[in-house]
Amino acid sequence: MDYIEFSLHLLPDSQPEILMALLADLGFESFLESEEGILGYIREDVFDPDVVIPYLDEMVTKGSVFYGYKTIPGQNWNAVWESNYDPVIIDDKCMVRAPFHKPVEGILYDIVISPKMSFGTAHHETTVLMARSLMVENPAGQRVLDMGCGTGVLAILACKLGAREVVAVDNDEWAFANAIDNAEQNKESRISVIRGEAIDIPSPPYNLVLANINRNVLLRDMAVYTRILVTPGTLLISGFYEEDLHSLKLEASRVGLLFISSMAENKWAVAKFVK
C-alpha cells in the first residue's frame, strides 16, 4: 500500500488541531509532529489532488501554512510510521515514547503516547519547554489544569510529578479521545479529560494552569486562567514566538498576573506568571 506524506510547515498562530481535523475529513489517516510542524499521511488510493491541493494552496495564500509532499512506495506502513517517530528525552529525566519503543533505564518519568491524530508528542519545542518548566515547578499535591491538552502528555507528566488531580481540556474530538486513551495507557486515573473551551473548565480553582495553545487563544483566555487560579497560583503558557511575549505580558498584567520568567528554543517561548 502506497502512502503520500505531506510535510506541513506551520506559521505563527496556526492551529494544528483544526488543520489535522480538516485534513482527516479529506482522508488523512495519521499525523506526526516534525521540527517544522506536522507530517500528514494519506493512502495514495484515497488521495484526491483536486481536493487536497487547492485546499492547502488556499492556506498558503492566507499565510498560515507551507507544504510539500512525496510518495512512500511499497513499504510496510507501520515500519515507516515508527521510523518517523523517535522517542524524546527531556533533561535526562522524562522520556516520551510510543508503545513500540523500549523504556530507558534511569529515566524518572516514562510516558507512553500513541499520538493518532492529535498534537503533542513532545517533538515540538513548545511541548519540550512546557515539560521542562513543569518539572521545575513540581506540582506535587496540587490541582492542575491542562488547557489544549492534545495527546495528554503534560497532564500525564503532572500526575507522574505527584499532582493530586489533573483536568485536561481540548476542543478537538481526536485530541479528547486520544488523551483519554493515553491516560489509561499510562495508568493515570487522576486525569479527567473534558472536551470543550475555556468556558467549559470544570470546578475551579486550580493551583497550576498549563496552556500550550497559541498566541491568540492565550490573549483571549488570559482573564479566565487568572480567575480560576488560587492565590497564590501559577500559570505556564507556550505555543507562541518570542516576539509575542511582550503582548502576552501586557495582557497578563492587565488581568492581575505577575510575570516571573521565560525560556525560548528555536524562537518558541514559554512563560511563567503567578497570581
How far apart CA 113 and CA 178 sit, in angstroms, is: 9
Tens digit of each residue's pLDDT (9 = 90 or more) over 212-265: 988 889 999 999 999 999 999 999 999 888 999 999 999 999 999 999 999 998
Select from 106, 78, 79 the least CA-distant residue to 93.
106
Q: Going from the N-terminus, what domains does the chain have, and what CATH number goes with each? A: 3-83 (3.30.70), 88-274 (3.40.50.150)
Q: What angle do CA 221, 134, 228 make, to 5 degrees?
A: 30
Cis amide linkage into residue 205, ω under 30° from 0: yes
pLDDT at position 137 is 94
Identify the band that residue 96 occupies on the pLDDT scale cut at 50, 70 and 90.
very high
Residue count (the chain)? 275
Position 27 confidence tier, pLDDT thresholds 50, 70, 90? confident
pLDDT digits (tens, 9 = 90+) for 47-58: 999 999 998 998
- List Cα–Cα distances, 273 to 33, 147, 256, 260, 262, in angstroms: 27, 15, 10, 5, 9
pLDDT-based confidence at residue 65 (cuts at 50, 70, 90): confident
Instruction: Quote the CA–CA distance of 233 and 237 in Å, as a whole number.
Output: 13
**CA dist list (Å): 113 to 31, 98, 120, 199, 230:** 13, 5, 9, 28, 31
Residues 6+ positions from 105 with CB-CB distance below 8 Å:
none
Name the burial class of residue 164, with classes exposed (0-12), middle (13-18) and buried (19+) by CB atoms within 10 angstroms of its CB. Answer: middle
Instruction: Name the residue with cell 530507558.
Output: 104
Nearest-angstrom CA–CA distance, 38 and 18: 12
CB proximity list for 61: less than 8 A, separation 6 or greater:
none
User: What pTM was computed for the model?
Assistant: 0.78
